[in-house]
């Protein structure tokens, strides 16, 4: 299967942006659980409170029910979406 240049550039830009977001954030530990606190602001993750096609926060590996995320700060809608979406393996 041939990959178009447009698709290749889009993928490279998305990857570079995700890596850039990760390097700009600071890590801290949550006081009560010892788990890493979310480190990316909703604006930087391009969070929206509606799904993007079939992708939604409730189907993401980072989502923590009922309304939070391992990587994005703030209240997260189960029907939301952001650029850091990673399909849940279950």
pLDDT digits (tens, 9 = 90+) for 2-17: 778 887 677 767 766 6
Element holding 63 (H helix, E strand): strand 63-64
The pLDDT tens digits along the chain (90 residues) read 677 888 767 776 776 666 665 555 444 333 445 667 788 999 999 999 999 999 999 999 999 999 999 999 999 999 999 999 999 987
pLDDT of residue 27: 43
In a domain, 17, yes or no: yes
Residue 80 domain-assigned?
no
Does 87 reside within a domain?
Answer: no
Consecutive H or E run containing 89? none
Q: Is residue 83 part of a domain?
A: no
> What string of H, E and C letters represents the secondary structure of 67-87?
CEECCECCCCCCCCECCCCCE
Q: What backbone phi and psi angles, to 5 degrees, belong to 35? A: -85, 150
Which pLDDT does position 28 carry in this prediction? 38
Which residue carries 């409170």 as its tokens? Answer: 49
Domain that holds residue 50: 5-69
Whole-structure pTM over 0.85, yes or no?
no
Residue 35 lies inside a defined structural domain of this protein: yes
Q: Is residue 81 part of a domain?
A: no
> How many CA atoms lie less than 13 Å away from 25 in the CB half-sphere?
21
Instruction: With respect to residue 53, please indicate whether it lies within any of the assigned structural domains.
Output: yes
Structurally, how many domains does the chain consist of?
A: 1
């Amino acid at each position: 299967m041939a990959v178009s240049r447009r698709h290749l550039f889009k993928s490279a830009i998305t990857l570079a942006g995700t890596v850039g977001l990760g390097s700009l954030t600071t890590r801290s530990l949550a006081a009560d659980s010892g788990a890493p606190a979310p480190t990316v602001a909703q604006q930087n993750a391009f969070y929206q409170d509606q799904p993007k096609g079939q992708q939604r926060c409730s189907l993401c590996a980072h989502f923590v029910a009922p309304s939070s995320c391992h990587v994005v700060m703030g209240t997260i809608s189960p029907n939301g979406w952001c650029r850091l979406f990673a399909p849940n393996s279950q």
